[in-house]
Structure 1
Amino acid sequence: MSAEAFFTRLLAVFTEQMAHLNALDAAVGDGDHGSTMLRGLTKAAAAEDGRRAKAFMRASGGASGTLFGLILIGIEAHLEKGADLRAQLQTACGRICDLGEVKVGDKSMVDALSPAVEAMQDGDLGAAISAAAAGRDSTKPLVARRGRSQYVEDGGRGHIDPGSVSVVIFLETLAATGPTT
């Protein structure tokens, strides 16, 4: 599978999911998560090979552009250079935790990404997707400790973290685009 195919498909999925992601974000943030992701992915899909994730980061901007860009850098390295996907995602997760000063249980994208990395021990993307989905769903009862969600009533308790939804979409799109070996 090529990075071009992945980013093209990812753009199509986020085009379909934009309103849903914005609605999720409106409950816990400023309501622009889907729009921000779509803006970044539009530029990424049009960029040259090897520059797609960085184009995403520049176009989406802000903290989310950087944090999601770290995941996309890892996926792009996997697709273009054959880098180990689990190692790339583990590196991204570590950097996200450091930059965002976040950990599992803080109601963030890490709640989906960290279990996905752990489940990918044997390179099983399906197991990673299942673990990420469970992590995503686990954010609903949590109270946010970081990001804008921490400032909304009850820290967003009762709402799924939109960033964790996007992590699952990344992995599902990767699986749907073709083999990752």
Structure 2
Amino acid sequence: MTVESFFVRLHETFTREMAHLNTLDAAIGDGDHGSTMLRGLTKAAAAEDGSRAKAFMRASGGASGTLFGLILIAIEAHLDNGADLTDGLQTACDRICDLGEVKVGDKSMVDALAPAVAALQGGDLAAAITAAAAGRDSTKPLVARRGRSQYVENGGKGHIDPGAVSVVIFLETLAQVKDAA
């Protein structure tokens, strides 16, 4: 299980999912979530030395690059040097909540990440993925309180948050890489 294999597989997954993520984002934002994620992951997958997560952050740019980069830093540290995944993702979640001024129920990536971190306390990545997926799905009836979604009609109510979808993809990809090792 290597950092490189995680980022390569993540890049492959986002290549397949880009159009779908852009469509989800078009309903509640500016329609570029998949493209932005793929741009960052293209650089991260190709990075030869240093932090792939930081390469992602530089290439994807903007607020989303920073916020998703925090999650990728935690996963990268876990894969690279055995850093505690739960602690790393908890730190990422706390920073995302602080920087984005967001909490669970605000229709954001945190709706998937926070329950995943809570489920991961027991060390079960499969339970974390299940919790993240439930959190992702819970965003559909929510009205956004932060981000671009708050400015669309009904705050994006009736649409799943694309950032929450990406969190689930990150965790599913991590599980695939661990299973392949």
TMscore range, shorter length: over 0.9
CA contact (8 A) 1:79 1:180 kept: no
Q: Counterpart in 2 of 1:142? A: 142
Q: Which runs of 5+ in 2 are unaligned?
A: none
- SS of 1:141 mapped into structure 2: coil
Deviations 1:4-60, CA, capped at 9 Å, x for gaps: 000000000000000000000000000000000000000000113441000000000
Q: Counterpart in 2 of 1:33? A: 33
Taking the aligned partners of 2:178 and 2:132, their CA distance within structure 1 comes to: 19
Structure 1 residue 157: deviation in Å? 0.1
Taking the aligned partners of 2:38 and 2:116, their CA distance within structure 1 comes to: 23
Q: Counterpart in 2 of 1:120? A: 120
Question: What one-letter code is carried by the residue in structure 2 that aligns with 1:69?
Answer: G
Percentage identity across aligned positions? Answer: 81
Report matched runs for 1:29-178 at 5 Å.
29-178=29-178
Question: What one-letter code is carried by the residue in structure 1 that aligns with 2:23?
Answer: A
- In the alignment, does 2:3 pair up with 1:11? no
Question: What one-letter code is carried by the residue in structure 1 that aligns with 2:8?
Answer: T
CA contact (8 A) 1:50 1:80 kept: no
Taking the aligned partners of 2:178 and 2:117, their CA distance within structure 1 comes to: 19
Superposition TM-score, scaled by structure 2 size: 0.98
Question: What one-letter code is carried by the residue in structure 2 that aligns with 1:74?
Answer: A
Question: What one-letter code is carried by the residue in structure 1 that aligns with 2:102?
Answer: V
Taking the aligned partners of 2:107 and 2:19, their CA distance within structure 1 comes to: 21
CA contact (8 A) 1:28 1:149 kept: yes
| Equivalences, count | 181
- SS of 1:178 mapped into structure 2: helix
Superposition TM-score, scaled by structure 1 size: 0.98
CA gap 1:122/1:179 in 2 versus in 1, 3 angstroms: farther
Taking the aligned partners of 1:128 and 1:90, their CA distance within structure 2 comes to: 12
Taking the aligned partners of 1:5 and 1:54, their CA distance within structure 2 comes to: 16
Taking the aligned partners of 2:109 and 2:50, their CA distance within structure 1 comes to: 24
Taking the aligned partners of 2:180 and 2:29, their CA distance within structure 1 comes to: 34
Structure 1 runs of 4+ off > 3 angstroms?
A: none
Cα RMSD after superposing both structures: 1.2
